[in-house]
Amino acid sequence: MDGHRTVAAAASGARRVACVTGATGFIGSWLIRSLLRRGYHVNATIRDAGKASWLLSALRGGSRLKIFEADLNEEGSYDEALKNCQFVFHVAACMEFNTTAKENIGKLFPSRRTNMNSIVIVENHVRTKILEPAVRGVINVLQACAKSGSVRKVVFTSSISTITAKDDEGELRSMVDESSIIPINQVWKTKPKGWVYVLSKLLTEEKAFQFAKEKGIDLVSIIPPTVAGPFLTPSVPASVQVLLSPITGDPELYPILASVHSRLGSIPLAHVEDICNAQIFLMEQPMTEGRYICSAGSCSLPELTDLLSKNYPAFSSKRFHENSCISIHPVISSKHLTDLGFAFTYSVRDIIQQSVTCCVEGGFLRLHENEDDMVP
């Protein structure tokens, strides 16, 4: 095939069909919207097809959008959805954060004291009930890709949680790229905020690349940072809730934001539309491989809270949490992606403002101090 032609161009003579897993999620639903607007036919997979009415209503894809019921933990569950698909976007993922070992023990085994034995019990629970099923899920999807005989490329959605700006001595690097992977054994040992989610993303991406190499599947991975902006989902996406936690003062979500800031030296952001455009861009390019960070820019926690307080003065400064100062703000580099020709549309300010606007217009966020801030 001519190296200058895109993968999508090669399929232009026939109907272009893409499968999107995790279709009812924040990124998944917006990705389907983006694909439909480009003329693709989309096979969307969700666990319960009975809960897809809002998706069909929001996207109005007509005959070009088909809903398939599929479960990551059921072998063969994706076979039907992937029939005649040329492209697969694997967005579905475990969303279990389980912030600390001590909190997990209290939830899972309330009668136990926090000691070494109980920590081992929690680790075993996480390994067998969350991580192993997550790995099986990605393998099940890729097995279906291999069996289909039609799938040309897979785009795997990873996470910035797999990346760290800290070197082996714990010092912040000046530049962070796709190779700055946080060691799995370090996550097991330190159990930072959101450690279960981090492990899930690290392990599933690692296994995905291994399996794809063994089976000759063309797979690339996109690494989104904190993704925000407007949303189609009937509830506020977790990443938007995390980003706006300085406004809501959510005691469960703000520590996740602070943990990202500590690990990376700033809060890298991307607009959901840019993330979806980048996924399609990577799928359509013939000469792509490996991992691609997709971050439009970053802001520090103080910068984020200042922007929010200046633009939304109804929230007084006392509502914001005290932040630790970081003198070095590493560059979270998307050079690997932009060198291919991809360009971001939305700035950090755009992302934050559109996130707040969507929450307010949807009735999820009330800009009055005498009301609850974030409505579930």
Q: What is the pLDDT of residues 158-187, one digit of tens each?
A: 999 999 999 888 889 999 999 999 999 999
Phi/psi at 120 (5° precision)? -60, -40
| pLDDT value of position 15 | 86
Task: Tell which CATH architecture fits domain 7-361.
Answer: 3-Layer(aba) Sandwich (3.40)
Q: Please say if the pLDDT value at position 226 is more than 70.
A: yes
Return the pLDDT at 121: 81
Percent of the chain with pLDDT strictly greater than 90: 66
Among 124-133, 153-162, 279-288, name the one with the lowest average pLDDT.
124-133
> Distances in Å between the alpha carbon of 207 and those of 27, 73, 136, 156, 293?
22, 15, 9, 11, 19
Where are the alpha helices (H) located in the chain, listed in sequence order?
Answer: 7-10, 26-37, 53-59, 79-82, 101-108, 116-126, 132-148, 184-190, 195-215, 238-243, 245-248, 254-264, 272-284, 301-311, 335-338, 348-361
pLDDT at res. 84:
94
Lowest average pLDDT, out of 3-12, 55-64, 295-304, 359-368, goes to 3-12
Query: What does residue 369 show for φ and ψ, rounded to 5 degrees?
Result: -70, -20
Query: Does the structure show a pLDDT above 60 at 94?
Result: yes
Given a cut of 70, is residue 98 above it in pLDDT? Answer: no
pLDDT digits (tens, 9 = 90+) for 258-310: 989 999 999 999 999 999 999 999 999 998 999 999 999 999 998 998 888 88
pLDDT tens digits, 41-77: 999 999 998 888 899 889 988 899 999 999 999 999 9
Predicted pLDDT of residue 93: 84
The set of catalytic residues is: 201
Domain ranges of the chain: 7-361
Q: Name which residue leads in pLDDT, 366 or 212.
A: 212
pLDDT at 2 (0 to 100): 41
Structural contact between residues 31 and 294, judged by C-beta atoms closer than 8 angstroms = no
> Which one-letter DSSP state was computed for residue 93?
-
- The mean predicted confidence, pLDDT, of the chain is 87
| pLDDT (mean) for 338-363 | 96
DSSP-derived pairing of the beta strands 297-299 and 267-271: antiparallel
**Is it the case that residue 238 has pLDDT exceeding 60?**
yes
> Which residues neighbour 130 within 8 Å (Cβ) at sequence distance 6 or greater?
94, 96, 98, 196, 200
Is the separation of the CB atoms in 329 and 300 below 8 Å? yes
pLDDT of residue 116: 57
Residue 376 has pLDDT above 80, yes or no: no
Q: Is the pLDDT of residue 100 over 80?
A: no
349: pLDDT strictly greater than 60? yes
Q: What is the pTM of this model?
A: 0.88
